[in-house]
Amino acid sequence: MQRDIPFWNFSKSLTSVTLSSFVNIVAGLAIFAAASLTGGLAPSLLSLIISRLVQGIGAAMTTVTAFALFIRIFPEGHQRNRALGYLIAVLSGGFAAGALAGRALTTFLGWRSVMFINVPIGLVTIPLAQRFLPGGAGLSENKHLDVPGALTVTTGIILLIYGLTNAAGLGFASLSTAVPLGLSVIFLGGFLAIESRSKTPLLPLSFIRRGSVLASNVVALLLTSVVGGISFILPVCFQNILGYSAVYSGILTLPPALIFFVVGGWIASRMVDRLGAKRVLLLSTAIVALGCLMLTPLSPHGNYWILLPGFLVWAVGASIGFPAMNIAAVAGTQHGEEGLASGVVNTSFRIGFPLGLATLLTVAGAIDPPSSASASAATAAVVAGFQAAMVAASILAIIAFAVALRLKNTKPQRGSGEKQSQLVG
């Protein structure tokens, strides 16, 4: 229920060792549950942050390995498209349930309950994994951890998001913004230098340059930036501008969540079967851009129903895009590359959410009312900031559309690749 922090950059390395995929998933669940317990009991902010870091490691081990299992078990084509659609449906349902339950738990039981709720979920999920998941050897033969690469890319991304978060309140001219952003450039540049020379790189640059891997991951980064930013900003608008309670604001997000569950889970994969991933992504990014623009009539005198059409259009576009992004990102994956492909696209997703949130909040915070402004003028400035953020989100979606034009449109034939692949070991 907690959104994991940017430590999934260790995910590819963690899934590359000779542990079985089953052990990775069960160990990840146990680590996540244990870290949730210590987080709920945290006596200080530092101990809470450490628990959240450990949560991120557990989430990385679990989510990336699970996605890699999907790639290994289901052959490319109709079977994989359908399976990934079901996966998106489950993730969407979990995200919606977590958002609503998190608001309710925080309101009625306090923030610690949001951490504690993960513990019984982990205790139930671990035996289910033991019962239903296939065992087998690891998903890669690489026995070495690229520790320098993992540390530099993780540090660089944390600094980037921290700098953008500071920019939302302090502006880009502040040292608290400029220093983290400058250090982020240095660390990320160092990561690329390490990867170009490493014998066992965390992220082989040759893999990124192959086919549509780079373009599909850039689209994933941009589209999840829009989804992550809008998913956070709209409930805040409901509370701070329209005056709804936290729980009621969570309930108002259920219609788009239902679209993600139904459209993303069952309709999107069939669209990819018929049209190919490229055409679906072009349609998705165009619809998302339109939906964001339809959200700009935000007003302190308005209501939820004015925003609902844009909210639903945005959700339809995003829901058909997520399965297509996954399918495009792992197309052509060779044996032994499942963990790598899964780690790359999941990292793109995980970076996109906080990066989009930080970017859109920076845009929204750029329109600050003067300290002497009246209450109505201050509210008008806040509304204008949120409207600018919606326009910025639309621009990000348009950029994603332009990048998607570079994808190769591989439309799998229903009869191809249907033979069930077997797990190793």
The 3-state secondary structure of 24-59 reads: HHHHHHHHHHHHHHHHHCCCCHHHHHHHHHHHHHHH
Tell me, yes or no, whether 416 lies in a domain.
Answer: no
Same domain for 261 and 389, yes or no, is yes
**pLDDT, tens only, 295-354:** 988 877 778 888 899 999 999 999 898 888 888 877 766 666 666 777 777 778 778 887
**pLDDT, tens only, 212-247:** 778 888 898 999 899 888 888 888 888 888 888 877
Tell me, yes or no, whether 425 lies in a domain.
Answer: no
Same domain for 126 and 274, yes or no, is yes
Helix axes 213-240, 304-330, angle to 10 degrees: 160
pTM across the whole model: 0.72
Q: Are 240 and 386 in contact (CB under 8 A)?
A: no
* CB proximity list for 332: less than 8 A, separation 6 or greater: 76, 210, 211, 410
**Residue 193 belongs to what domain range?**
147-199
Same domain for 261 and 131, yes or no, is yes
* Full DSSP string of 238-303: HHHTS---HHHHHHHTHHHHHHIIIIIIIIHHHHHHHH-HHHHHHHHHHHHHHHHHTT----TT--
What is the C-alpha separation between 319 and 315, in angstroms, rounded?
6
**pLDDT, tens only, 183-215:** 999 998 998 888 888 777 777 777 777 767 788
Same domain for 117 and 257, yes or no, is yes
Task: Please report the pLDDT score of residue 16 as a whole number.
Answer: 42
Tell me, yes or no, whether 421 lies in a domain.
Answer: no
Task: Please report the pLDDT score of residue 393 as a whole number.
Answer: 93
Tell me, yes or no, whether 412 lies in a domain.
Answer: no
What is the C-alpha separation between 363 and 321, in angstroms, rounded?
24
Task: Please report the pLDDT score of residue 409 as a whole number.
Answer: 67
Same domain for 173 and 297, yes or no, is no
Map tokens 């729980």 to a residue. 247
Q: Which of 199, 214, 239 is the last residue of a domain?
A: 199
Confidence of residue 17 (pLDDT cuts 50, 70, 90): very low
β strands within 63-163, DSSP E:
none
Confidence of residue 422 (pLDDT cuts 50, 70, 90): very low
What is the C-alpha separation between 219 and 288, in angstroms, rounded?
13
- Looking at residue 122, which CATH number applies to its domain? 1.20.1250.20
Both tokens of residue 349?
Answer: 């997703």
Task: Please report the pLDDT score of residue 281 as a whole number.
Answer: 92
Helix axes 304-330, 78-109, angle to 10 degrees: 140
Same domain for 208 and 283, yes or no, is yes
Same domain for 164 and 299, yes or no, is no
Tell me, yes or no, whether 422 lies in a domain.
Answer: no
Q: Which of 168, 183, 199 is the last residue of a domain?
A: 199
Q: Are 237 and 364 in contact (CB under 8 A)?
A: no
CB atoms within 10 A of CB 409: 15
Same domain for 192 and 226, yes or no, is no
Total domain count for the chain? 2
Tell me, yes or no, whether 228 lies in a domain.
Answer: yes
Q: Are 387 and 296 in contact (CB under 8 A)?
A: yes
Q: Are 193 and 149 in contact (CB under 8 A)?
A: no
Tell me, yes or no, whether 417 lies in a domain.
Answer: no
Task: Please report the pLDDT score of residue 373 as a whole number.
Answer: 64
The rounded mean pLDDT for the chain is 77
CA 244 to chain centre: 27
Task: Please report the pLDDT score of residue 145 as a whole number.
Answer: 62
What is the C-alpha separation between 418 and 420, in angstroms, rounded?
6
Question: Does 167 have pLDDT greater than 50?
Answer: yes
Same domain for 175 and 297, yes or no, is no
Tell me, yes or no, whether 424 lies in a domain.
Answer: no
**pLDDT, tens only, 335-349:** 666 667 777 777 787
What is the C-alpha separation between 79 and 82, in angstroms, rounded?
5
Same domain for 99 and 15, yes or no, is yes
Same domain for 68 and 163, yes or no, is no
Same domain for 194 and 106, yes or no, is no
